[in-house]
Amino acid sequence: MKMNLMEAVVSLSDGGFFTHWMSREQRKACAAVLLDGPMQARDMLARLNNARQLIEGAPQTYEADGRGDMAHVRLHYRRGSVHAWITERDVSSGLTQPQHQAYGMVKIHEADWGYISIPELLSAGMELDLDWDVKTIKEAIR
The predicted-structure confidence for 47-101, as pLDDT tens digits, reads as follows 999 999 999 888 777 666 666 678 899 999 999 999 999 999 886 655 555 667 8
Give the residue-averaged pLDDT of 5-9.
95
Give the residue-averaged pLDDT of 15-22.
93
Give the residue-averaged pLDDT of 103-132.
92
Average pLDDT, the chain: 88
- Domain span at 67: 5-140
Residue 31 is predicted with a pLDDT of 96
pLDDT above 90: residue 5:
yes
Percent of the chain at pLDDT > 70 equals: 89
Question: Residue 69 contacts by C-beta under 8 Å, 6 or more apart in sequence?
Answer: 136, 137, 138
Give the amino acid at 98: P
Number of domains in the chain: 1
Residue 63 is predicted with a pLDDT of 64
